Amino acid sequence: MSKQYIYLTREGYEKLREEFECLKNVKRKEIAEALEHARSLGDLRENAEYEAAKEAQALNEKRVAELQDKLRRARIIEDEAISKDEARIGAKVGLKNLQSGEELEYTLVSEMEADFSRGRISVNSPVGQGLLGHKENEIVKIKIPAGILEYKILKISR
């Protein structure tokens, strides 16, 4: 698996850890019970329930391994260690769209935590990349597939 760090907020880390624990301790048991039930039905060569349970087990184990790797590589973003006057991962960035006049606020997060409907954008997205390293009152031009966005950074907070 990859050796790169994964930067997460404490909330994002806890969400991953909870999913890992659930899959490992609850889902594994449920799948084992489903396998046992399917075995009790007889001939395994033509047993659709058994095949479905085996597939669920394989998918679950794959996800458990992925989460275990991510948790091992995770680094929790601590606000004290990150510049407070620059747009960096973990920062809330208040923006004004210079074309429309609309004001927006985004929180810059890792890809795993991105949720546009909650205003959480990935630092790897075009807008996230365009904001990184900039400071309050700077004007940034960000190229996206639909054209160029022009924002003024109004506020950066943590």
% residues pLDDT > 90 (the chain): 66
Q: Which fold has domain 6-76?
A: Helix Hairpins (1.10.287)
- The domain locations on the chain are 6-76, 80-157
> Which residues, other chains included, contact 67 with Cβ-Cβ below 8 Å and sequence gap of 6+?
16, 19, 20, 23
Is the pLDDT confidence value at 7 over 90?
Answer: no
Residue 11 has a pLDDT of 85
| pTM (predicted TM-score) | 0.70
d(CA 72, CA 81): 20
Judge whether 6-76 and 80-157 match in fold: no
Beta bridge partners of 59: none
CATH of domain 80-157: 3.10.50.30
Note the pLDDT tens digit of each residue in 88-118.
Answer: 988 999 999 999 999 999 999 988 899 999 9
The larger pLDDT score, comparing residue 21 to residue 112, is at 21
Note the pLDDT tens digit of each residue in 36-58.
Answer: 988 887 777 778 888 899 999 99
